[in-house]
RNA sequence: GGCCCGUUCGUCUAUCGGUUAGGACACCAGGUUUUCAACCUGGGAAGAGGGGUUCGACUCCCCUACGGGCUGCCA
């Protein structure tokens, strides 16, 4: 039983997406359950829009979860109940120190170069001396010895208990902190494997103390390194694309993102290009690396091209539709869709992304008269138009098959004593209005004899 | 400051004490060619630095440097 537990304070981050992916692969590969929990205990920063964005992002990535997403905030009564139980068990205590007092303590500690860990004077106070005042509930953490984390990725990590303070479990307003809530929820939800970012590694030690305080079993932990930007710095807004939605808008297929993200910080020998089924079969926590990986768009692009080439036509068409919607572009008409699907065979293995594919598909998406771009205009100089003029009658009689057209074009080139390229260029310009397109005979095949000759006619003006 | 984690080609990585340190992406040169993509051939490219341990270290230990995390009544 694995889970993904994002806090809804923004869009789904590419690093968060990989964490979700690892959990999903791990759970699905072992016939386990994959749960979703929204960590919305910070009311000031959590928004429903962000929750929606995260759900949308996971759906787009193709990561399905079991059951309804759990709201952590909705479980606040349960968290408070556990805090009271800890109080009753003597593993937690009420602390009446005010934020001002604590801040003053830290100020002094910093000035004197001492540890800023706050040691509450209320830890061992007699309840009879408790004032009737606002208070928090703190964990009564062990002061000596050490807390050991057995981590599937990081190995055995040891923390000295005197480096860990008595963290707040229940705030003075009665709401739980993340540290308490995450433990209670993981326990109640039956989460057996916690796979999350290594920014939580130190927290794991504190959380282990809560598990101990309640006498609960500790889950298997796997703290995975963060993803860095191309410059090796930690990912931030200035790196450009950090939100998953931006990758959707750039026209990468979700399968390629899954494949790419999976290979970031995890490997299975020399395998680079693989399916979800293979990833699920191969994925194991022990193969996750301990060092952070950088994003490399070149590699993503290469993988993207291979996934597009390998995709079934129907699926490709559907995903192009999703891509168009993500960018706010107009959807393809019924006619454009069927024309595009006829052309996919000569398009899918030469495109790296959806916009790349769409650009090369212009010849079949545009209707007459096609508007040539600058390069195409240059290719339609008078001499070239003359060639096209001579070619037209040959096309009237050519057999309209791949072989027939190749033969006809070849024969025409030979008869004129020119190279094939001298003919292909102008043809490309006339048929597509672009100079980067699929092969000319493929375009002619897709367009048909009538349309082909009509477009050449348009170009001859 | 304290504690914790990390460091193999430009990038992602293989290696799990004995290898000419392998692969992929990217790059360079050549080939194929009808533009793009693809493809073929070849090439350059790495163990952060310093100490140990060992017959032998990329691999184990220590130190340093650099990067990152935690150190909140944020998550």
Separation between the CA of A145 and the C1’ of B16 (whole angstroms): 33
Token pair for A172: 């003075």
Show which positions of strand B are touched by protein (CB under 7 A): 1-8, 10-14, 22-26, 33-38, 67-75
Token pair for A103: 């801040």
Separation between the CA of A394 and the C1’ of B74 (whole angstroms): 74
Kindly give, in sequence order, each residue whose CB lies less than 8 Å from that of residue A410, ignoring residues fewer than 6 positions away: A420
Residue A70: predicted pLDDT: 96
A107-to-A135, A163, A206, A431 alpha-carbon distances in Å: 21, 18, 24, 74
A323-to-A44, A309, A317, A327, A354 alpha-carbon distances in Å: 33, 16, 10, 6, 7
Task: Share the mean pLDDT of chain A.
Answer: 93
Asked if the model's pLDDT at residue A207 lies above 90, the reply is: yes
Whose C1' is closest to the CA of A264: which nucleotide?
B12
Q: Say what the ipTM of the complex is.
A: 0.94
A263-271 mean pLDDT:
94
A403-412 mean pLDDT:
92
Asked if the model's pLDDT at residue A223 lies above 90, the reply is: yes
Residue A316: predicted pLDDT: 97
Candidate from A88-92, A127-131, A219-223, A234-238 with smallest mean pLDDT: A234-238
Clarify whether A94 is annotated catalytic: no
Separation between the CA of A224 and the C1’ of B24 (whole angstroms): 23
Whose C1' is closest to the CA of A114: which nucleotide?
B1
A431-460 mean pLDDT:
94
Asked if the model's pLDDT at residue A88 lies above 90, the reply is: yes
Asked if the model's pLDDT at residue A1 lies above 80, the reply is: yes
Residue A125: predicted pLDDT: 87
> With 0-12 CB in 10 A as exposed, 13-18 as middle and 19+ as buried, what is A317?
middle
A316-328 mean pLDDT:
96
* DSSP state letter for A384: H
Asked if the model's pLDDT at residue A236 lies above 80, the reply is: no
pLDDT > 90 fraction of chain A, expressed in percent and rounded: 86
Q: Which of A31, A94, A140, A237 is catalytic?
A: A237
A304-323 mean pLDDT:
96
Asked if the model's pLDDT at residue A113 lies above 80, the reply is: no
Phi-psi region of A201 (alpha: psi -120 to 50; beta: other; left: phi over 0): alpha
Whether the predicted model's global pTM rises above the 0.90 cut: yes
């Amino acid at each position: 039983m694995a889970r993904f537990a994002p806090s809804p304070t923004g869009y789904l981050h590419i690093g968060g997406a990989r964490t979700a992916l690892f959990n999903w692969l791990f759970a699905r590969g072992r016939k386990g359950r994959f749960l979703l929990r929204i960590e919305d205990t910070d009311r000031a920063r959590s928004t429903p829009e962000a929750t929606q964005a995260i759900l949308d992002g996971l759906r787009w990535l193709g990561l399905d979860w079991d059951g309804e997403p759990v709201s952590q905030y909705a479980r606040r009564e349960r968290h408070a109940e556990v805090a009271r139980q800890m109080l009753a068990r003597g593993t937690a205590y009420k602390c009446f120190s005010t934020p001002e007092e604590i801040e003053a303590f830290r100020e002094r500690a910093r000035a004197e170069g001492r540890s800023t860990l706050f040691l509450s004077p209320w830890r061992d106070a007699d309840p009879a001396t408790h004032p009737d005042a606002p208070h928090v509930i703190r964990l009564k953490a062990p002061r000596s010895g050490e807390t050991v984390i057995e981590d599937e990725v990081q190995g055995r990590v040891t923390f000295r208990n005197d480096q860990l303070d008595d963290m707040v479990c229940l705030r003075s307003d009665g709401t739980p902190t993340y540290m308490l809530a995450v433990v209670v929820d993981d326990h109640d939800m039956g989460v057996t494997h916690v796979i999350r970012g290594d920014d939580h590694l130190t927290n794991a030690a504190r959380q282990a103390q809560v598990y101990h305080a309640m006498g609960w079993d500790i889950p298997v932990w796997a703290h995975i390194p963060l993803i860095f930007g191309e410059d090796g710095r930690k990912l931030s807004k200035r790196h450009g694309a950090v939100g998953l939605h931006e990758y959707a808008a750039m026209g990468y297929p979700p399968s390629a993102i899954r494949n790419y993200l999976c290979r970031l910080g995890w490997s299975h020998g020399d395998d680079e290009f693989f399916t979800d089924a293979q990833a699920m079969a191969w994925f194991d926590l022990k193969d996750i690396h301990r060092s952070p990986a950088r994003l490399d768009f070149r590699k993503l692009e290469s993988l993207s091209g291979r996934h597009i080439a390998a995709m079934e036509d129907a699926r490709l068409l559907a995903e192009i539709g999703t891509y168009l919607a993500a960018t706010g572009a107009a959807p393809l008409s019924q006619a454009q869709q069927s024309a595009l699907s006829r052309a996919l065979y000569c398009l899918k293995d030469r495109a790296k992304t959806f916009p790349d594919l769409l650009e090369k598909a212009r010849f079949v998406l545009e209707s007459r008269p096609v508007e040539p771009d600058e390069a195409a205009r240059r290719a339609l100089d008078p001499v070239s138009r003359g060639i096209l003029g001579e070619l037209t009658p040959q096309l009237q009689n050519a057999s309209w098959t791949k072989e027939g057209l190749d033969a006809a074009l070849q024969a025409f080139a030979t008869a004129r004593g020119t190279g094939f390229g001298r003919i292909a260029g102008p043809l490309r310009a006339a048929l597509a209005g672009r100079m980067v397109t699929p092969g000319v005979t493929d375009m002619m095949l897709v367009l048909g004899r009538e349309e082909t000759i009509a477009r050449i006619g348009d170009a001859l003006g």
